[in-house]
């Protein structure tokens, strides 16, 4: 059986500012609590959790026009998985970020739901403050971040 979970938060920044973070597959560990490292090969993002579990996440949608970013977790505890992050413009200086996860088994969607809610809170705090690890990370080109992250994991 599968389940879906969705959380959202309003953030007092332009939609493009939130999108600039969401679309950077290589910086997720800076706003998604519980991740210790991320590597990105241009198609698959490999995340490592604080417990040492590594999961491959295949990016399947990176649509700047719709501001939609989707990925599938491959393997691990999942038979199927799809995550969707949407950024909606609410005005010139605020947006809504929605983070949804559809998973089989259903319990994994519920587990991810709490983590997604914490991730959105972290994203909101850093973007509204105008500072934080994720904003420092996106200031560096993705190629350099990926190389630095891989070197740190060695």
* Interval 113-134: pLDDT, tens: 889 999 999 999 999 999 999 9
pLDDT tens readout for residues 33-70: 999 999 999 899 999 999 999 999 999 999 999 999 99
For the whole prediction, is pTM greater than 0.95? Answer: no
- Cα–Cα distance between 138 and 136 in angstroms, integer? 6
CA 152 to chain centre: 20
CA end-to-end span of the chain: 38
Domain tally for the chain? 1
- Cα–Cα distance between 40 and 107 in angstroms, integer? 27
In terms of residue numbers, what domain contains 125? 3-153
- Phi and psi at residue 41, to the nearest 5°: -105, 10
Residue 74's CATH number? 3.30.530.20
Give just the sign of the alpha carbon dihedral 115, 119, 125, 128.
negative
Structure tokens at 103: 């998973």
């Amino acid at each position: 059986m599968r389940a879906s979970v969705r959380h959202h938060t309003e953030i007092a920044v332009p939609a493009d500012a939130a999108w600039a973070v969401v679309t950077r597959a290589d910086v997720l560990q800076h706003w998604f609590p519980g991740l210790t490292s991320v590597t990105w090969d241009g198609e698959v993002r490999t995340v490592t959790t604080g417990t040492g579990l590594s999961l491959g996440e295949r990016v399947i949608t990176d649509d700047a026009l719709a501001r939609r970013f989707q990925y599938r977790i491959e393997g691990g505890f999942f038979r199927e998985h799809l995550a969707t992050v949407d950024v909606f413009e609410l005005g010139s200086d605020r947006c809504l970020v929605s983070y949804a996860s559809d998973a089989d088994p259903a319990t994994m969607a519920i587990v991810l739901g709490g983590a997604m809610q914490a991730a959105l809170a972290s994203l909101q705090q850093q973007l509204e403050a105008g500072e934080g690890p994720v904003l420092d990370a996106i200031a560096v080109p993705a190629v350099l971040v990926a190389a630095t992250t891989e070197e740190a994991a060695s």
